[in-house]
Amino acid sequence: MAFFEGVKMTGGYGTGPDIINSCSINVNRGEIVSILGPNGAGKSTAMKALLGLINLKSGSIAINGKDISKLSPQDRVREGISFVPQTKNVFAGMSVEENLEMGAYLREGDYQNIIDEIYELFPILKEKRNQLVGELSGGQRQQVALGRALMIKPSVLMLDEPTAGVSPIVMDELFDHIIKVKRTNVAILMVEQNAKQALNISDRGYVLVTGENRYSGTGKELLNDPRVRSSFLGG
Amino acid sequence: MDFLNAIILLLNYIFVPALTYGSQLALGAIFVTIIYGILRFANFATGDMMAFGTMVTILITWYFQSIGISLGVLPTALLAIPFAIFFMIGYMLFVDKFVFRYYRVNKSPPVQLAMVSIGVMFVTQAVVRIIIGPSDRRFFDGEKFIIKAGEFKEMTGLNEGLAIKSSQVLTIFITLILVSILFWFLNKTKTGKSMRAYSDNEDLALLSGIDPKRVVMITWIIAGILATIGGALYGLDKSFKPFTYFNNMLPIFAAAIVGGIGNPFGAFLGGYVIAFSEIFITYAYKKFFMYILPESMEPETLVQLLSTDYKFAVSFSILVIVLLYRPNGIFKGKVL
């Protein structure tokens, strides 16, 4: 049994049609798992289902053996699941340090040592600690977003397209940061458009098509699978 | 000597009154801007909520006066304000629970909430008029002036007198203290920061575990404090007439928008921008020019750009100009 898993999840937005169908995803601590697939495959929806942002018609979600299917997103955050949305993932009108403090909102007591750890992980943030996040570059903002999500010391970190809209160099840098986070024994689940690069750093991957699991395997297996290559990786 | 007289004239008729009026507007504008930033709607009941807070202050003041409590040289109303604040906070939370909450839970669009606030405005207005009536009331007691015009003239030997009313000093003093506490709260405390975070990015605030119910409650508590103090200070300085409070909503909204709506510091400065513009434009400068110009050039007319009856046109024009050329305000608020 995996550390964090969604089993046979089915559901969609509001009363609309089902977007994911009997979709199963799991991730262990210290592992990076990517969810890939064409546009409209339900990648982000699957992630939102795991976080509780959409209501499931069937299926269950468990962390560390504990069923959390009925918990609200806020309560899931308390269980140690952190989420970085694709857009609007920082408090643009607040300083870097304030963003991190807000990430630690649920933590009781002193969290200065966690802020220091984040600064060690992302040195650039220490330099810009008092600057407004809205004034930072795209890559730096993503680091703030990651930092904010790490402030609760999550056991599971979910990233929705962390490299969307950043340049290739910044993308590599961000992936490096994500690997560093993984080494702190966090389970990382991410949705990615840049499939090749994502699979390169992933331990495992899932390919979703129309809301269902189509292929799954280790990053290497998927990269070398001719069917996956031809349909999603561009040959 | 004439030059000094001219300066005293401007101080007496423009600077001191505008600073006072600006402080009163600033409190209202911060009220508007905080509600807009956090609850995301334009609260048209602002003016009447301030009237309500003032009415409660007046009623408590009367009670204190009837049992013989007074603050000596200071107005008794100062003693009544804390009690009125408690009452007002209760009123705000009551209105939120039975009116606004329903629309917030159903995620109604901001326009709908603004319309709902107009309903609240009518009801509040009616309640105020039923309880205390529509007429003009003065509830200032204690020592009226800190410096009287006559004394000032004697002291300095100038032709022009500078009169400073204690209500003016009180207004400016209390506003500065209140606003400093508010900014300290918003910028330095965890709860204050969580309110700013909620205003900045609601979804992410929820994902960070910030409790929306708590944020909304504290917003209304702050609103109750601002409405009562802002309204009571205005009433002490001028007089209490419910209709005037309703009218004041235009300059208050103008101040909030000039400063950048959703930005409390902008609203604070916006209050002074509106007050100074209104008074600068509607003041009759004849006497001022009589002091500084040689006799041959003395103006024949009043040299008044706009009659004081049209003072609302000033805030309205500023509002239109800001919305046309800088819709997010001077200090970067949200774009309307």
A105 contacts B208? CB cut-off 8 A: yes
Q: Is the pLDDT of residue A130 over 80?
A: yes
Q: In which residue are the tokens 């003072």 written? A: B311
- Cβ-based contacts of B208 with chain A (< 8 Å): 77, 102-103, 105-106, 148
B203 contacts A94? CB cut-off 8 A: no
Judge whether B134 and B242 are in contact, CB under 8 Å. yes
> B interface mutation test: which of A76, A78, A91 has the most B CBs within 10 A?
A91
Partner residue facing A98 (CB), from B193, B206, B210: B193
- Cβ-based contacts of A83 with chain B (< 8 Å): 207
A74 contacts B205? CB cut-off 8 A: no
Judge whether B142 and B72 are in contact, CB under 8 Å. yes
pLDDT in tens, B216-238: 999 999 999 999 999 999 999 99
Who contacts B63 (Cβ-Cβ below 8 Å, separation ≥6)?
B80
In a domain, A108, yes or no: no
Region of B27 on the Ramachandran plot (φ > 0 left; ψ -120 to 50 alpha; else beta): alpha
DSSP-based three-state secondary structure for B239? coil
pLDDT in tens, B188-223: 999 999 999 999 999 899 888 899 999 999 999 999
Partner residue facing A94 (CB), from B200, B206, B210: B200
A94 contacts B190? CB cut-off 8 A: no
> HEC states along B56-96?
HHHHHHHHHHHCCCCECCECCHHHHHHHHHHHHHHHHHHHH
Chain B residues whose C-beta sits inside 8 Å of any chain A C-beta = 190, 193-194, 196-197, 200-201, 203-211
Chain B residue closest in CA terms to A79: B209
pLDDT band of A209, cuts 50, 70, 90: confident
In a domain, A205, yes or no: yes
Kindly give the confidence (pLDDT) of every residue in chain B, 336 residues in length, as a single tens digit, with 9 standing for 90 and above.
788 888 999 999 999 999 999 999 999 999 999 999 999 999 999 999 999 999 999 999 999 999 988 888 899 999 999 999 999 999 999 999 999 999 999 989 999 999 999 999 999 999 999 999 999 999 998 888 988 888 888 888 888 888 999 999 999 999 999 999 999 999 999 999 999 999 999 989 988 889 999 999 999 999 999 999 999 999 999 999 999 999 999 999 999 999 988 899 999 999 999 999 999 999 988 888 888 888 888 888 888 888 888 888 999 999 999 989 888 888 776 655
Q: In which residue are the tokens 């600068």 written? A: B280
CATH classification of the domain holding A220: 3.40.50.300
Say how many C-beta atoms besides its own lie within 10 A of residue A84's C-beta. 22
Taking each continuous run of H as one helix and of E as one strand, the counts in chain A are 10, 10
> B interface mutation test: which of A102, A110, A148, A152 has the most B CBs within 10 A?
A102
pLDDT in tens, B99-111: 999 999 998 999 9
Judge whether A132 and A92 are in contact, CB under 8 Å. yes
- Cβ-based contacts of A74 with chain B (< 8 Å): 206-207, 209, 211
Question: Quick one: A185 exposed, middle or buried, by C-beta within 10 A (0-12, 13-18, 19+)?
Answer: exposed
B190 contacts A101? CB cut-off 8 A: yes
Chain A residue closest in CA terms to B208: A103
In a domain, A41, yes or no: yes
Q: How many domains does chain A have?
A: 1
Chain A residue closest in CA terms to B209: A74
Which domain, by its residues, includes A4?
1-80+189-235
What does each C-alpha distance from B144 to A59, A66, A229, B60, B224 come to in angstroms? 73, 70, 85, 20, 27
CB half-sphere exposure, A124, CA atoms < 13 A? 15
B208 contacts A98? CB cut-off 8 A: no
| A&B contacts, CB < 8 Å | 56
- Cβ-based contacts of A102 with chain B (< 8 Å): 193-194, 197, 205, 208, 210
How close, in Å, is residue B27 to chain A by CA atoms?
Answer: 22
Partner residue facing A102 (CB), from B197, B203, B211: B197
Q: Retrieve residue B72's tokens.
A: 């000596």
> A interface mutation test: which of B201, B261, B263, B328 has the most A CBs within 10 A?
B201
In a domain, A121, yes or no: no
Chain B residue closest in CA terms to A99: B197
In a domain, A47, yes or no: yes
In a domain, A141, yes or no: no
